[in-house]
Structure formats: structure tokens, C-alpha cells
Amino acid sequence: MGLPIFPTPSEKLRFKMDFQGRSSIVTGASQGIGKAIALELAWEGAEVILVDIQKEKLDEVAGEISANKGKAAVFSADVSRMDEAMKVVDEAVKGSKKIDFLVNNAGITRDNLLMRMKEEEWDSVLSVNLKGVFNFSKAVIRNMINNRYGRIVNISSIVGLIGNVGQCNYSASKAGVIGFTKSLAREVASRGITVNAVAPGYIDTPMTEGLPESVKQQFRDWIPVKRFGTPEEITHAVKFLLSDEAAYITGQVINVNGGMFM
């Protein structure tokens, strides 16, 4: 199938950031933003450890990477469980001896008005979206400290900054990711590790494609650039934060939202 999401070869020559020899973990890598990030890192030469609970889809992503002569390993894991996060990292370290990049992308929604929200809807979203970031960050951080190098990028959301009706759980989890990012960045900056967040606006992904067209149009009217973003536009921001060009950037939130929040 190839990698249709990427720029032309001439554009690649201008913008290529070589990640040869780098080992990376991407959670939620089976589709949408996570898949786009995984494909791009593999194209740049990084070995990509794909993590998700949807193993069949992960295998498809790994197949795309292999077909383009990239390196990928598949781990079916629940990011909300610390034991599974530790197991993924332990196995990954056996192969590469180090983890250079971690992209905490895994996320779910269970939307409902607060007065109707079930406790399970709250707990499941916080467990995946926030505890998952804690689990995998804790799992890799000792390795990064020992190597005195690391890049962590956490995927937050515009609703973690502005809120949204029916998303108290999701908004709280994504706001928590921002606070976590800033705190961890302070803890590990002196060890050569940067920790940043990317906060996407409304992006064309499986998570948003189920919205009614009338709702989508309302959002387009609200967004200054008058369209949803693409997973690749998030990927570019993530890739920059993982690169050596961003070595002096840490504890920051990069908003990629078409001007919806300024």
C-alpha cells in the first residue's frame, strides 16, 4: 500500500530529520494520529515499537512499515496497566538496549453530560488517557536517565485547554496530561531529557469521523482556517519535538488547531 501521507522526495530532502539508530515507542499506534506518527518515525529510520490493544490493526501498520524497509515491533498492551507498560519496555530494551523516544498518544472518549456520566465512563477515560501517560513515562524514564538522553511527547488536546460540553472526563484527562508534562520536564531536564505536549484541535481521525455532518460544519465555522486538521499535521509537530533541533524546548504545549484556540 505504501506511505501516501508523506511529502514528495524533493520535499523530503529539504525537511528530513534522520532518526537512524533511534528506538521509539508509540502508544495508540493502530490508527489515526498514532499510526501517522509511527509511519513517519519509521520512514526517518527509527525502530518503532507499536503499542495498542488492537493487535490486528497494529500488525497492518507493522506490515506497511516493513514493506517500506522500516523496522517495527508489535506489542498488544493495555496502557492503563502498569505491569503491561513495564513488560513492553523491558522487552523493547532487550532488543535495542535503549529507548530514545516515547510518544504517549493512546486515548479514548466516553462522552456524556456530567449529570448522566457513569463512574465507569470517568474511570476508563482517566485510566487510558492520563494513567497511561504516567505508566509508560515511568516505565521508560530510568532507561532515559541512564542514557542521559530522551524525548517524550505527550498528545493532549484542545479540550484540555478550553473544555467541551459532554467531555468533562476527556477534558480533565487531557488537562492532566499538560500538568504532568510540565512537572516531568522540570524533573528530568538536567539529564538530557525533554518532555513536551502537542495539543491537537479537531483532526480527521476515526475518533471524529462519527460526528454528524451538522456538528462537523459547526466546528469548521468555528475554526479560522475553516477545516479539520490531518494526522500528518500533528506528526510534523511531534517529529520536530523529537529532533535535535528541539533540544532547548521542554515543558511546552504546542497547539496545532487551525487557530481555534490562540
Note the pLDDT tens digit of each residue in 178-216: 999 999 999 999 999 999 999 999 998 877 777 788 888
CB-neighbour burial class of residue 20 (10 A; exposed 0-12, middle 13-18, buried 19+): exposed
Helices and strands, number each (H, E), in the chain? 10, 7
Half-sphere exposure of 212 (CA within 13 A, CB side): 3
Q: What is the pLDDT of residue 209?
A: 76
Residue entry with cell 460544519:
217
CA angle 155, 198, 51 (to 5 degrees): 30
Asked whether residue 9 is domain-assigned, the answer is no
Which domain CATH number covers 129? 3.40.50.720
pLDDT at 1 over 80: no
Q: How big is the CA angle at 181 (ends 133 and 228), to the nearest 5 degrees?
A: 80
> Containing domain of residue 150, as a range?
19-255
Residue closest to 153 by CA, chosen among 173, 127, 180, 126: 180
- Does residue 10 lie within any of the structural domains? no
Q: Provide the domain count of the chain.
A: 1
Domain membership flag for residue 164: yes
CA distance 32 to 199: 15
Q: Tell me how far CA of residue 260 lies from CA of 1, 32, 75, 83, 228, in angstroms.
A: 34, 20, 35, 38, 10
Question: What is the pTM (predicted TM-score) of this model?
Answer: 0.91
Residue 218 covered by a domain: yes
**Residues contacting 23, CB < 8 A, separation 6+:** 46, 47, 49, 92, 95, 96, 98, 99, 100, 101
Determine, yes or no, domain membership for 4.
no
| 5 located within any domain | no
In a domain, 185, yes or no: yes
Distance of CA 256 to CAs 47, 158, 190, 238, 250, Å? 26, 8, 28, 10, 17
Higher-confidence residue: 106 or 6? 106
Active site residues: 170
Distance CA 150, CA 173 (A): 24
pLDDT at 10: 45
pLDDT tens per residue, range 218-259: 889 989 999 999 999 999 999 999 999 999 999 999 999 999
Residue given cell 497492518 in the structure block:
60
pLDDT of residue 16: 55
What mean pLDDT is predicted for residues 61-87?
Answer: 96
